[in-house]
Amino acid sequence: MSLVPKRFLPICIRWLALVIVCLCQLLRTSPSQAASPRPNIVWIVVDDMSAHFSCYGETLIQTPHVDRLAQRGTLFRRAFVTAPVCSPSRSALITGMYQTSIGAQNHRSGRGVEKIRLPAGVEPLPVLFQRAGYYTAIGGPLIKGKELAKTDYNFEWDRSIYDGNDWAGRKPDQPFFMQVQLHGGKYREGKGWAETVRKALGSPTSPESVNLPPYYPRDPLILDDWAHYLDAVRYTDQQVGAVIARLEQEGLLDQTVVVFTTDHGISHARGKQFLYDEGIHVPLVICGPGIGQEQVRQDLVQHIDLAATSLALAGIEIPKTMQGCNLFASNGPTRDAVFSARDRCDETVDQIRCVRTAKFKYIRNGLPHRPHLQPNRYKDAKPIVIRLRELHEQGRLDPLQEQLLFAQTRPEEELYDLNTDPFEIHNLAADSRYQSTLKTLRERLNRWAEQTDVHGRLPEAAAMYDSDMAVYLNNQRDSETAILRQNIQWMKQWAVKGK
């Protein structure tokens, strides 16, 4: 006996036929056709370079490949790092958290017997991508064999968070998260740089054509160094072009989000290691699936936003611990201020904090009785700093350069109107007309410190400092050991004196 009445049989047959057709169609459809594939994420991260690209207004050189990225995507004019030196900046970048929140604020810390471990619930970004099925890699043009490219994290981490150093190692159709590390501004400091420029760029940038910030003298060596730096920008642009060309050749570009940025600003006397815009303002360009083309954004963003943004673009849940924001969230918060911090750099102890709005920057110097250019073996070995010290000793710097670079003390507070004073020359902290602004930003920085500056407000433990300095001393050439020992001794003596 039939379970279906005869009058309903024709209808059931038609529905069954329709279901069979739909099932066949689904079986014929590949996974990539059934749903949009998850995008690959490629970060191009450059050492020691500010926003001196033609798409950011630099006129002395041309950077067509970064410009092309900007045309294909979104350029952020006001992007800032949370630390103006490599390891704290990179520790923050890879966790999406302020370095002061995770205890990674001191440059090259946790490298000795004393270790730094991430707080409970905080994981490096590659771990989150791996868990979602992504292949993770970190490499670059200087990487060979199975080596990983520069990480420079101050916390303990497992090498297995990276599957390799190139996306070529992934499984067929596996999405990947790749960091391409470029030497950037450090190229100009290497041997054979002039020959590299000749072969790759044809002719060097003219030193006489360089425009310097007003606090640097137009000395031949300083001009020559800046010209070499601009050539490093040009060379970096060519390397970016090579990365994009490879993605195109392999048919991956249209399904890849490309992020271009740097770890902090130019390595100069008021740049790297300091919280002026020369040290913390960086380029940021993002392009790829779901990113608007030829867009220019003026809102304030931080490099710790890249972790949350990348997860969101890959459809991965953003951890609640992460302090960065998804830059493309339709209903996400808009920052009206960004924050940065500088702590110990190598052997040199300091504590500087800043809050920056679209118009103003407020800087607090935690150790105001120390000079701007404290003894620092790394920076003091740079020809530009050697030359600046020579000009200072010879009395050949103008009053502004003497005041900003070689004053033996610093103000406790600095306030700059960035609209009228983009080089941050005129400190308005004592100006009666700006006391309301000063108070507002002071309180704003205090709130940020209470919420996020968990570790940075406390002096570094003596055991950690000694542990890290032991590593530094073991890694130095004999000719530099005496300088480093003297600097360490000064740091300890000044601390005892409350300086």
The answer to whether residues 341 and 372 touch, using CB atoms and an 8 Å cutoff, is no
Task: Supply the pLDDT for residue 458.
Answer: 86
Q: Which of 125, 121, 120, 110 is nearest to 162 (CA)?
A: 125
CA angle 365, 369, 375 (to 5 degrees): 90
Whether 472 is in a domain gets the answer no
Task: Supply the pLDDT for residue 36.
Answer: 58
How many helices and strands, by DSSP H and E, does the chain display?
A: 15, 11
Whether 11 is in a domain gets the answer no
- Structural domain that includes position 453: 38-457
Whether 86 is in a domain gets the answer yes
Token output for 467? 């542990």
Number of domains the chain contains: 1
Whether 93 is in a domain gets the answer yes
Task: Supply the pLDDT for residue 20.
Answer: 36
Token output for 35? 């749903």
Say which CATH number the domain at 42 has.
3.40.720.10
Q: Which of 327, 242, 246, 342 is nearest to 291 (CA)?
A: 327
For the chain, list residues with pLDDT below 70.
1-36, 332-333
Task: Supply the pLDDT for residue 453.
Answer: 92
Token output for 224? 């020559």
Task: Supply the pLDDT for residue 309.
Answer: 98
Task: Supply the pLDDT for residue 212.
Answer: 98
Helix H or strand E segment including 414: strand 413-417
pTM beyond 0.85, yes or no? yes
Q: Which residues pair with 300 in a beta bridge?
A: 78
Whether 487 is in a domain gets the answer no
Whether 489 is in a domain gets the answer no
- Alpha carbon of 4 to those of 12, 15, 20: distances in Å? 9, 14, 19
The answer to whether residues 179 and 45 touch, using CB atoms and an 8 Å cutoff, is yes
Task: Supply the pLDDT for residue 477.
Answer: 77
Distance (Å, rounded) from C-alpha 241 to C-alpha 181?
A: 14
Distance (Å, rounded) from C-alpha 384 to C-alpha 371?
A: 18
Whether 13 is in a domain gets the answer no
Whether 483 is in a domain gets the answer no
Q: Where are the alpha helices (DSSP H) in 145-304?
A: 193-201, 220-249, 277-280
Token output for 422? 């983009």
Token output for 87? 């390891």
Token output for 96? 């999406």
End-to-end Cα separation, the chain, in angstroms: 100
